[in-house]
Amino acid sequence: MTTAVDLAERIRTQTGLVGFWVGTDNPPMTERLARLGYDYLCLDAQHGLLDDTGCLRNLTAIDAGTSGTTVGIVRVAANTPQHIGRALDLGAAGVIVPLVNTPEEAAAAVRACRYPPAGIRSYGPVRSALRIGPDPRETDRAVACIVMIETREGLDNVEKIAQVPGVDALYVGPSDLSLALGNTPPAAGWSTPRFVDALVRVRTAARTAGRGCGLHTNTGAAAARALADGFTFASVSDDIDHLQNAARHALDTARSAVLVG
């Protein structure tokens, strides 16, 4: 299990971490998820339905629902100091930064996660000090900077991106990466050799650089396969799809009983 104060170190060095993806602003649900034993819950502020207030409510719910074993992280909307700093100030233990294409963009994400002199994060830990800090050096060590590899350019530069000091892990966005490699629909990428080769390349780059490497997956079974293939952490996605699938299964089961009767 993972605690907030050691997420960056664990995401770099530990294998078998499993998280769950949250795209809706539903604190009571998030609080329940935090009691299940996931290593992290990721709030999606890029494609999910969460604004700053929603992230605050759900990060608080994670802290209320866990005994310290589950931490909250945020996939930010963009690689900017404003988006990254805001997520961390709200109490996130780390950020997943989308669409990182070059070593320079990776370095910018790192700087946004760290206080001066190591970075440019503005000091104002109104809530984050309750979770990590308030000492800036302690916070710099604890916060995880995870950058996404999900474009053709990012894949072409993945070895250099992995070597950027302060990057704690790489994270594959499979749908965008599949599209970038010419697959339509995105799910078609999983059966193509070049997509499989791309996943191996990202894992190898991360391992060589001593970084963690994560994959976004749709099911627990897919997460287990990712970990068996060499990814060090995997996210199971997501609350909306899982609710829909459970509701559909319940409906189909109920209607089948009526038809039989």
Do 234 and 217 touch, CB atoms closer than 8 A? Answer: yes
The contacts of residue 13 (CB under 8 Å, 6+ apart) are 212
Tell me the one-letter amino acid at 33: L
Beta strands 212-217; 94-97: pairing state = unpaired
Q: Can you say whether residue 33 is alpha, beta or left, with left for phi > 0 and alpha for psi between -120 and 50 degrees?
A: alpha
56: its two tokens: 């605050």
In the chain, the N- to C-terminal Cα span, in Å, equals 47
The DSSP secondary structure of 71-103, one letter per residue, reads: EEEEE-SSSSHHHHHHHHHTT-SEEEE----SH
Q: How far is 220 from 213, CA to CA, in rounded Å?
A: 17
The dihedral through the CA atoms of 77, 181, 214, 12 has a sign that is: negative
Q: Is 47 a catalytic residue?
A: yes
| List 47, 216, 242, 249, catalytic entry | 47
Closest CA to 97 of 145, 138, 40, 59: 145
Catalytic residues: 47
